[in-house]
Amino acid sequence: MNLYEQAKKVIPGGVNSPVRAFKSVEMDPIFITRGDGPYVYDTEGKKYIDFVNSWGPLILGHNPKETRKNIHNYIEEGITFGLPTKIEVEMAQLFTESTNTDMVRMVNSGTEATMSAIRLARAYTSKNKIIKFEGCYHGHSDALLVKSGSGTLTFNSPTSLGVPLDVIKDTIVCEYNSIDSVKLAIDKFDDISCVIIEPIAGNMGVVVPDKSFIKELRELTAKNNIILIFDEVITGFRTSFGSIAKDFDIEADLYCFGKIIGGGLPVGAFAGKREIMELLSPVGNVYQAGTLSGNPLAMKMGRDVILKLKESPEIYEDIEKLAVRLEKGFLKNIEITKTDAKISRYKSMMSLFFGKFDQIKSYEDVKNADTHMYANYFKGMLEEGFIFAPAQFEAIFLSHAHNEDIIDKAIEANLRVLKNL
């Protein structure tokens, strides 16, 4: 019995996170045994050039030498204590300095970070409602698994069974990149505690809003005593060192991080202004805790990656150059083959959308992308030895282990595959 059949017997769908099952690309998943730099190897020994990079965390590629040799030493010192450690303090100092925040609390996933940040925002403002945007993903906590109804601000519905209507009744879903939809919500409800947003969206594929939208969102929230939460679980330390807020010349009130900051181990964080963060227990009365939070091994791995990025700022330029090269090559191929497709990119985050689009600025714009075409494209590239995200509405993640040669090979393969679609 193959591994997938075995897996399905003991793990629902055979996977520990649904997108790994490759349903969106209409095939069975591959199982990975090993990663090294830009490559991953499957259980059949086939080697792939990897553009998933564990969905973003591996900005230095697989098993980079900066963290590989250290982790062996760290294990010698013990893995978890559930008592305070020096590395947590060092990491918090480095982290707050890097993200221009006052205080941070470490958790184990992005889901935990957003869930806790929202609790904090509600406590700080003594208000209940939250605004999120259609197409943005903030982890799988109940109140955030919501999509909007047919009309603006009509009845929302949960995107998962098991989420009670009562739990989502305080979640308002607005349209990404539409400040009018936010104004409408603020006019209608006076009980809004926070707005949570992916400043560059990565979870409907890469969607880049207008800079003015984010700036107006900042002004509007500040004026109405609403906490602005930047969910930077993807963008944090990916598009540039620290937070993306500086790209918009603004500051958010709270920030959520994850992915890159754990160096490949399970870490999330939420951070922000002291007066908000000090509402957390044991200083204040907002409860939040975690047996493995601030895990020393994860903190050390995360610190090593952040230090490497801090010491080598050229990494960001290098990766962006590769992304531009990939974009140009793909665009040329799209033109040559007259494929209906468009690329949306912000720095080293990008997506190739199949279909016809006037613009790519909201979920409305991309929701009708041709997922079947993407599935065929994905399969073609896989056969060529390249693994991209196994779903249309995801990002291509580059790492510093990629190089021009790999990018050029990907461009050549892309042309062959587009020709055959």
Ligand X SMILES: *Cc1c(COP(=O)(O)O)cnc(C)c1O
* Interface ranges with ligand X (CB under 6 A): 109-111, 114, 137-139, 198, 202-203, 231, 233-234, 258, 268
Distances (CA, A) of 252 to 44, 182, 205, 235, 246: 47, 16, 23, 14, 10
Q: Based on CB atoms, which residue is closest to ligand X, 39 or 133?
A: 133
The structure tokens 């598009």 sit at 239
**3-class SS of residue 212:** helix
Q: How far is the CB of 106 from ligand X (least distance, A)?
A: 13
Kindly name the residue from 48, 124, 137, 176 that is annotated as catalytic. 137
Write down the catalytic residue from 127, 129, 132, 259: 259
CB contact at 8 A, 243 and 100? yes
The least distance separating ligand X from the CB of residue 186, rounded to whole angstroms, comes to 23
Chain centroid to Cα 398, Å, comes to 13
Task: Give the phi and the psi of residue 90 in degrees, each rounded to 5.
Answer: -60, -45
Question: Is residue 137 flagged as an active site residue?
Answer: yes
Distances (CA, A) of 259 to 54, 130, 231, 306: 9, 24, 12, 12
Cβ–Cβ < 8 Å for 172, 131: yes
CB atoms within 10 A of CB 410: 24
Q: What is the 8-class DSSP label of residue 392? A: T
- Nearest approach in angstroms of CB 297 to ligand X is 17
Task: Give min distance, CB of 264 to ligand X, in A.
Answer: 12
Helix (H) / strand (E) containing 166: helix 165-168
Catalytic residue among 231, 253, 304, 365: 231
CB-neighbour burial class of residue 190 (10 A; exposed 0-12, middle 13-18, buried 19+): exposed
Catalytic residue list contains 176: no
Beta bridge partners of 269: 106, 257
Name the residue nearer to ligand X (CB basis): 35 or 202. 202
Q: How far is the CB of 55 from ligand X (least distance, A)?
A: 6
Between CA 266 and CA 334 the distance in angstroms is 37
In the complex with ligand X, the residue whose CB is nearer, 201 or 277, is 201
Length of the chain: 421
Q: How far is the CB of 114 from ligand X (least distance, A)?
A: 6
Using the minimum distance from each CB to ligand X, give the nearer residue, 138 or 300. 138
**Distance of closest approach, residue 291 Cβ to ligand X, in angstroms:** 17
Give the residue with the Cβ less far from ligand X, 129 or 138: 138
Q: Which is closer to ligand X, CB of 37 or CB of 110?
A: 110
In order, the DSSP letters of 112-141 are: HHHHHHHHHHHHHHT--EEEEETT----S-
Closer residue to ligand X, CB minimum distance, 198 or 253? 198
Question: N- to C-terminal Cα distance for the chain?
Answer: 32
Q: Are the CB atoms for 129 and 193 separated by under 8 Å?
A: yes
User: 176 CB contacts (<8 Å, ≥6 apart)?
Assistant: 133, 134, 135, 136, 197, 201, 204, 207, 209, 361, 362, 363
Nearer to ligand X, 192 or 261 (CB): 261
330-368: b (≥16 Cβ within 10 Å) or e: beebbeebebebbbbbbbbbbbbbbbebeebbbbebbee
Report in angstroms how near the CB of residue 20 gets to ligand X at its nearest: 12
Q: What is the DSSP letter of 28?
A: P
By Cβ distance, which residue is nearest to ligand X?
Answer: 110
* Residues that are catalytic: 137, 231, 259
